[in-house]
Amino acid sequence: MGKTKTLLIDYAEPMKRKEIQAFYQSLIKLNESKQSAADVYFHKNKNLLINAYYEYEEVQIMNYQTQKRELLAQKELWSKKICGGCGSKLRLVDSSYGKFWGCPGFRDKSAEHITFPTNYGEIFASRYKNVKVRINAHWATDIIRMTNSSKDLKAAQLVRLYGEEGMGDLRKKYGYKSTLKSISGYVTAKKNSFREEIEITNALSEFFPKSKTQLGIRYRLKDEYEKVAIIDFVLSDDQVVYLIEIKRRIYDIQIEQLELYFALMDYIMKEADDDRDCKGLFMVYSEETYGFTIDEKYIAFESVRNKASKLALKSIFNKNAEIMGR
Ligand SMILES: [Zn+2]
């Protein structure tokens, strides 16, 4: 390691189950009160936000129409075999690259001359069919930015509030996947990671009678507010405590997170006169990202999934711990 920065801890203490539940409850409540603040903001600024919606839609429709017009103009030139740059009649050129329609005036640099592949008719048809009103997946975020509402609204809230005004989801209206589905992607990701955590903790806790999932720690760093850290998984025996941070993909790894957990655990163990060793390690679930190169060490869940002994597990843990002991 060697790069662990020193964190100045005022205090750190493990939380009881009940406290953690209360903590999650307070997060939910906070979310609800944010929701009603968003409603108030929306209704105060209704004209601005409703106009922004229609303006946004209009710009996309205008882009769509421009694109169609330009394509049709090209098609017209194609069917008349005329250069759009200089008006010359195109001719079929047989070059070493194959045949194409080119402008005889191509040497005159004062105009932009045209060339058409011989199958332009088909190309046009497929392009024309694919011209769509393009609605960015982040359209609600764009509107929030345009109206300077970033402090007061989240994209999902804005989409919901528009919906209450009978203004549909712009994405859905123009045939895309609905915006809320794309915004709420992280909820699904979080659910999956719970499932993955359960699989990992079930597979490993068998060898460590003292195991704990979702260990909550209430702490305060110098000059900061009190915060709560939730460590995914703690395995321990008489000699060592392993702090395991479970990640779905290796590029989710953040070394600062493990450094904080390690520092908190170190503090708690010192307070309790617990002189066991402590190691911090990342475990990555998703096999498809193992090829990605990063500086940090991590353990692929695949490599420990079927380990038959505690000794084998510990040897892998010790070799691949990102933070090596106190
Ligand atoms: Zn020309």
Query: Within a domain: residue 40?
Result: no
What average pLDDT is seen over the chain? 88
Distance 85 CA to ligand 1 centre (A): 5
Q: Distance from first CA to last CA of the chain, Å, rounded?
A: 11
Task: Give the number of residues written for the chain.
Answer: 326
19 and 67 fall within a common domain? no
Question: In the predicted model, what is the mean pLDDT of residues 256-281?
Answer: 94
Distance 124 CA to ligand 1 centre (A): 20
Is 60 exceeded by the pLDDT of residue 4? no
* Structure confidence by residue, pLDDT tens digits, 172-181: 888 887 777 7
Q: What is the pLDDT of residue 186?
A: 47
Is 80 exceeded by the pLDDT of residue 309? yes
Distance 76 CA to ligand 1 centre (A): 15
- 3-state per-residue secondary structure call for 264-299: HHHHHHHHCCCCCEEEEEEEECCHHHCCCCCCCCCE
Distance 128 CA to ligand 1 centre (A): 24
Q: What is the DSSP letter of 322?
A: S
212 and 300 fall within a common domain? yes
Give CB contacts under 8 A, 24+ apart, made by 21-26.
Answer: 23/216, 23/228
Domain final residue pick, 82, 108, 130: 130
Give 3's pLDDT tier (boundaries 50, 70, 90): very low
How would you classify the pairing of strands 240-247 and 277-284? Answer: parallel
98 and 22 fall within a common domain? no
194 and 288 fall within a common domain? yes
Q: What is the pLDDT of residue 265?
A: 96
Number of structural domains (the chain) is 2
Rounded alpha-carbon distances, angstroms, from residue 196 to 52, 102, 201, 322: 42, 60, 9, 21
Q: What is the DSSP string of 156-224?
A: HHHHHHHHHTT---HHHHTTSPPHHHHHTHHHHHHHHHHHHHHHHHHHHHTT-SEEEEEEEEEEEETTS
Query: Within a domain: residue 43?
Result: no
* Structure confidence by residue, pLDDT tens digits, 81-121: 999 999 999 999 998 888 999 999 999 999 999 999 999 99
Task: Determine what percent of the chain is predicted with pLDDT higher than 70.
Answer: 92
220 and 119 fall within a common domain? no
Distance 92 CA to ligand 1 centre (A): 13
Query: Within a domain: residue 180?
Result: no
Distance 5 CA to ligand 1 centre (A): 66
Query: Within a domain: residue 165?
Result: no
Distance 77 CA to ligand 1 centre (A): 11
* Structure confidence by residue, pLDDT tens digits, 198-242: 888 888 888 888 888 888 999 999 988 888 898 989 999 999 999
Distance 66 CA to ligand 1 centre (A): 23
> Is 249 or 281 the better-scoring residue by pLDDT?
281
Give 191's pLDDT tier (boundaries 50, 70, 90): low
Q: What is the CATH number of the domain that holds 267?
A: 3.40.1350.10
CB within 5 A of ion ligand 1: which residues? 83, 85-86, 88, 103, 105, 113
Q: What is the pLDDT of residue 221?
A: 92
Is 180:169 a contact under the CB 8 Å cutoff? Answer: yes
Query: Within a domain: residue 318?
Result: yes
Is 50 exceeded by the pLDDT of residue 140? yes
Distance 104 CA to ligand 1 centre (A): 7
115 and 195 fall within a common domain? no
319 and 199 fall within a common domain? yes
Give 155's pLDDT tier (boundaries 50, 70, 90): very high
Distance 176 CA to ligand 1 centre (A): 40
202 and 280 fall within a common domain? yes
Name residue 158's amino acid.
Answer: L
- 113: number of Cβ within 10 Å: 18
162 CB burial (10 A radius; 0-12, 13-18, 19+): buried
DSSP helix/strand/coil, 325 = coil
Domain final residue pick, 130, 147, 166: 130
Query: Within a domain: residue 143?
Result: no
219 and 306 fall within a common domain? yes
111 and 222 fall within a common domain? no
Distance 83 CA to ligand 1 centre (A): 5
Distance 65 CA to ligand 1 centre (A): 26
Owning domain of residue 89: 62-130
Domain final residue pick, 114, 130, 146: 130
Distance 84 CA to ligand 1 centre (A): 7
73 and 125 fall within a common domain? yes
Distance 78 CA to ligand 1 centre (A): 13
Distance 72 CA to ligand 1 centre (A): 18
Give 197's pLDDT tier (boundaries 50, 70, 90): confident
Label residue 8 left, alpha or beta by phi (over 0 means left) and psi (-120 to 50 means alpha).
Answer: beta
70 and 21 fall within a common domain? no
161 CB burial (10 A radius; 0-12, 13-18, 19+): buried
Distance 100 CA to ligand 1 centre (A): 14
Query: Within a domain: residue 72?
Result: yes
Query: Within a domain: residue 37?
Result: no
